[in-house]
Amino acid sequence: MRIILCGFGVVGQSLVKLFVSRSEDLYAKYGLKPRVVGVFDSRGSAVDQSGLDLEKLIDTKKKTGTVKNYSKTKNALSGIDMIKNLDAEVLIETTASNYKDAEPGMSHITNAMKHKMHVISVNKGPLALAFPSLMELATYNQVMFKFSGTVGGGTPILDYAKNSLRGERITSFAGILNGTTNYILTNMTNGLSFDEALQDAKKKGYVEADESLDLDGLDAAAKLVILANWIMDMKVTMPDIDCTGIRTVTTSDIKNAAKNKCAVKLIASCNKELKVSPIEVPIDDPLCVNGTLNAIAFTSEHSGTQTIIGRGAGGIETASSILRDLLDIRKEIARI
């Protein structure tokens, strides 16, 4: 299967390492032989229609900081150039999420679909701003659009709600969808001030380069949009979310919650309205997880409430979700 990889940061590199470490297993078990024909990072690109040497690609990135030095002929092809000029079945979009105009991911995804490529995205920006129209475009071009890594990283939240609860009608859901804010609030519960907890999270590399994505609830809101569209068949985008972050949470809020045998958590919920805000959650509630964990509770008509808990982020976890999506696409192509 020929693949174009957009972005070669932590997730992209983790994915390629997975391809290398599991190559025999993937072929023996699933008949999948991933062949990366093009990849780019912020400084350049590497292209080989017969398939790039993945170990050399990782090594080049590690030693020189860019895939541009993969071959002697320095490549400056953009993602759009690759989509237009390379033969590939699948585009994997891992560039940074942008909630202003969703670029460059939006252009990569729409162009790939128009060129009849299946698309896997872990970039939340395009889905947060244009989920309904992207699904329509995929249907129109008869391609598959997969995005299980956009919510929950390696924890299969979207898959669980769509497949494990098949036949059930989910009436509402609520959850902790951002591990960074959960880590900060957990540390505040343990006695740190907001600023101290934020600095600690930054030191550990948990905070996005643009901290407002975490602190102002934008990341959680984007995931809420994806969940509401995918699971509840809504037609919503980011402006439909009532969103409040955690910057206003004080030490006294934390102490008051503790008196009520609760903890303050940033909860994204879909009930009668779509909302992201810090609220008190009882400490004996399954949703009340600590550290960087994510948790989401689905309430359905007949099965009651079920909670799924897992690690929400991380390079290898997100890469494993891309691999799941790739295997789904491989299975569908084989069926046709």
User: Would you name the residues annotated as active-site residues?
Assistant: 223
Smallest Cα–Cα separation from 233: which of 297, 153, 169, 175?
169
Smallest Cα–Cα separation from 182: which of 158, 138, 217?
217
Query: What 3-state DSSP class applies to 29?
Result: helix
Which secondary structure element, helix H or strand E, spans residue 44, and what is its range?
Answer: strand 44-47
**Contact between residue 48 and residue 76 where contact means Cβ atoms under 8 Å apart:** no
Separation of alpha carbons 3 and 332, rounded Å: 16
Smallest Cα–Cα separation from 67: which of 76, 301, 296, 106?
76
Smallest Cα–Cα separation from 322: which of 89, 16, 111?
16
- Which amino acid is it at 10? V
Which secondary structure element, helix H or strand E, spans residue 84, and what is its range?
Answer: helix 79-85
Separation of alpha carbons 276 and 253, rounded Å: 17
Which secondary structure element, helix H or strand E, spans residue 145, and what is its range?
Answer: strand 145-146
DSSP 8-state code for residue 285: S
DSSP 8-state code for residue 204: T
DSSP 8-state code for residue 52: -
Smallest Cα–Cα separation from 116: which of 96, 136, 88?
88
Count of CB atoms within 10 A of residue 311's CB? 17
**Contact between residue 296 and residue 175 where contact means Cβ atoms under 8 Å apart:** yes
Q: Which two tokens stand for residue 123?
A: 């970039």
